[in-house]
Homo-oligomer: A and B are copies of this chain.
Amino acid sequence: MPEIDPAGSATPREVGVALIGYGTVGQGVAALLADHHDQWVATLGLDVRLRHVVVRDAGAPRDVPAPAGSLTTDAAAAVADPAVQVVIEVAGMVDEGRHLLADALRAGKHVVTANKALLSAHGEELTGLAQEHGVNLLFEAAVAGGVPIVRGLRDLVRVDHVHTVEGILNGSCNYILTAMSEGTDYETVAARAQELGYLEADPTADVSGADSLRKLRLLASMAFGGPVREEDIDCTGIDRITAADILALKAAPGGPREVRLLGRAQLVEPGGQAYTAVVEPVAVPQDHWATGILGSTNAVTLGADHVGALTFSGPGAGRYETASAVLTDLVDVLLGTVPTASPLGDRALRNARDEVTGRWYVRSSDALSDQLEPLLERTHLTGPLSGLTRVVARDELAPWLDDPESCVIGWEPAAHDLDPEEAAR
């Protein structure tokens, strides 16, 4: 690994940083870097300089001014600058980002990124390059914002066998679902979330589950040590859930349930190669860990053979929350405290999506109602066209999953739940 001088020395050593992207998170990173500059000179012996701030429009108004002379629109030149040893990317570009970061890694520069879309699409390629060139590619901020789940998982897989990853990975969806739980309908809550800045102008990636899917893909790949790709994950969003569904589930037989958008990946058997991975709304009972996760909070539970279940929760987004995660990675790079071994892994895995079974709450459109009846164990959960299925393969629900007039919600426990006795040593 290129030496950055981890020890505090009499003359602080200069480290050049290029920051690509200067929106909410980028400005947070710049503010925190300025804030920590003197402390890091004193404690780490490192004089960290923000040399380039790459933007699309150098004239746009911003809350946090960039260091004098640092603003540029030439990303390639910023990355190529020999005085730059670390590239921080928070711009969210997929194709352009791929080439920029690949160039940075090939030039022997460390990369810290918050770009889940880029990593989800090209993670193995980029981590492979990082390994080849002996540099770090770190992405704590790409999953669950300020929650240190990437490093938690990285530490855990070294000493334990992780068989389950389950998480609330999108704060906007959780904000909407917990607000709907108080009786407001989807459209009203979504509009309010957009006003408050919790939801993007185009909220499709959030409410369709695509954003959660990308994060689950990264966590599952780290957990199981091999590629779990986007297309390997079945995904249902929250945009078809109505206030009536939520209220029906709060009054469900067997006790009230709250709806959470969960990403869940599990090994089908302990230590095995076959896994299942699903993102979908799930009606969790009151004693489920996810019930207590409210508003825009993110939370992830890791299930492992030795340690049982570990849960991490905290802010999933926000300027300083996400910037703080970027800085945690940056400090690891500066101290040289992360091995460059690929965190995504290259173990062969088998996607067992056809083995996903469970029970689901289904509210059906008129068109599909006749087909629903034979699958149901309990009918009339909200009205004549809804109910709870018996244990079925998720595949059998394809007609309702595909139908925009129907709504399908998981019923805990779903998919493969490892027998705790079997999972324990």
Residues of A whose CB lies within 8 Å of any CB of B are 6, 31-32, 36, 43, 146-148, 151-152, 155-156, 158-160, 287, 289, 291-292, 294, 304-315, 318, 320-321, 323-325, 327-328, 331, 335, 337-339, 341, 425
Identical chains bound together, number: 2
Instruction: Find out whether the CB atom of B159 lies under 8 angstroms from the CB atom of A148.
Output: no
Which residue of A36, A294, A425 has the most chain B CB atoms within 10 A of its CB atom? Answer: A425
Instruction: Find out whether the CB atom of A320 lies under 8 angstroms from the CB atom of B337.
Output: no
Instruction: Find out whether the CB atom of A312 lies under 8 angstroms from the CB atom of B312.
Output: yes
Those 8 A-B pairs whose CB atoms lie nearest each other, nearest first: A310-B314, A292-B292, A159-B327, A306-B320, A146-B307, A337-B337, A306-B324, A307-B324
Which residues of chain B are within 8 angstroms of A313 by Cβ–Cβ distance?
A: 310-311
A311 contact from B6, B151, B314, Cβ within 8 A: B314
Which residues of chain B are within 8 angstroms of A339 by Cβ–Cβ distance?
A: 6, 335, 337
Instruction: Find out whether the CB atom of A158 lies under 8 angstroms from the CB atom of B307.
Output: no
Alpha-carbon separation in the docked complex, A6 to B339 (Å): 9
A-B contact pairs, 25 of them (CB 8 A): A6-B339, A31-B425, A32-B159, A146-B306, A146-B308, A146-B310, A148-B156, A148-B310, A151-B155, A155-B328, A155-B331, A159-B327, A160-B324, A291-B292, A292-B292, A306-B320, A306-B324, A307-B315, A307-B321, A308-B314, A310-B312, A311-B311, A311-B314, A335-B339, A337-B338
Instruction: Find out whether the CB atom of B315 lies under 8 angstroms from the CB atom of A312.
Output: no
Q: Known contacts A308-B318, A324-B307: does B36 contact A159 (CB below 8 Å)?
A: yes
Instruction: Find out whether the CB atom of A323 lies under 8 angstroms from the CB atom of B310.
Output: no
Q: Which residue of B lies closest to A158 (CB)?
A: B331
